[in-house]
Amino acid sequence: MTFLAVYHHENLLNPIKLLTHREDIAATLEAVSIRYDSIDIAAAFNGDEDDARILDNLESRFDDYPHRKIIRLPAIPRYATPPSDAGEPEQSCTEAGLRLFVKGRGVFCLHQANHLYALGCEAGDLVSVPAGVIHWFRQGAGPECLVVRLGHNAEGVRCVIRDERLAKGIELPEI
């Protein structure tokens, strides 16, 4: 289930907003220049494709994003607690980009305008990441997680890893 928990960055214990309707999530994120959409990818992916086939399936839909990088994260058994470093580290990128969640689930966090936006993502969720916004992803328990990072720069999205202070300072909701 997709959700959005919004926290003030000085109080990471209690969300000031918790949303579960996709329209409300999209409107809240749009207010801070983050685009959220859910696209039907079931016909394009059965979950067992190799990286080349996944990229081929995305070519026509995202032809204005020449940089496409697949991030594969191994399955985490449902009985296990995911390690705090399962996913992408806290980072910011010099260019804007997109994240397309193809398989698995987790919480994608964005720190923007004194607020932390914790977005529970699953297959088909598409999130824009503005340039300079601190963000990270924490994988949830379950099957392999597959995320595609898309960028306008053919050479790739240049990101700077942060100190993880914010990412490690919050107990994220489970998805």
Residue 91 contacts residue 162 (beta carbons within 8 Å) = yes
Pair type for strands 3-8 and 36-38 = unpaired
Residue 23 contacts residue 36 (beta carbons within 8 Å) = no
What is the band of 43 on the pLDDT scale with cuts at 50, 70, 90? Answer: low
Q: Is the pTM of this model over 0.75?
A: yes
In this structure, which amino acid lies at residue 51?
A: D
Q: Give the C-alpha distances (Å, rounded to integers) separating 63 from 26, 66, 136, 152, 153.
A: 23, 6, 25, 10, 12
pLDDT at residue 115, rounded to an integer? 95
pLDDT at residue 8, rounded to an integer? 93
Q: Domains (ranges, CATH) in the chain?
A: 3-168 (2.60.120.10)
pLDDT digits (tens, 9 = 90+) for 103-125: 989 999 999 989 999 999 999 99
Rounded to an integer, the average pLDDT of 67-90 is: 81
pLDDT exceeds 70 at position 47? no
pLDDT exceeds 80 at position 70? yes
Phi-psi region of 128 (alpha: psi -120 to 50; beta: other; left: phi over 0): beta
Q: Which residues contact 63 (CB under 8 A, 6 or more apart)?
A: none
Mean pLDDT, rounded, of the chain: 87
What is the band of 78 on the pLDDT scale with cuts at 50, 70, 90? Answer: confident
Residue 138 contacts residue 87 (beta carbons within 8 Å) = yes
What is the band of 55 on the pLDDT scale with cuts at 50, 70, 90? Answer: confident
pLDDT exceeds 70 at position 89? yes
- Distance separating alpha carbons of residues 103 and 150, to the nearest angstrom: 16
The two tokens of residue 119 are 């977005």
pLDDT digits (tens, 9 = 90+) for 5-40: 999 988 888 999 999 999 999 999 999 999 999 988
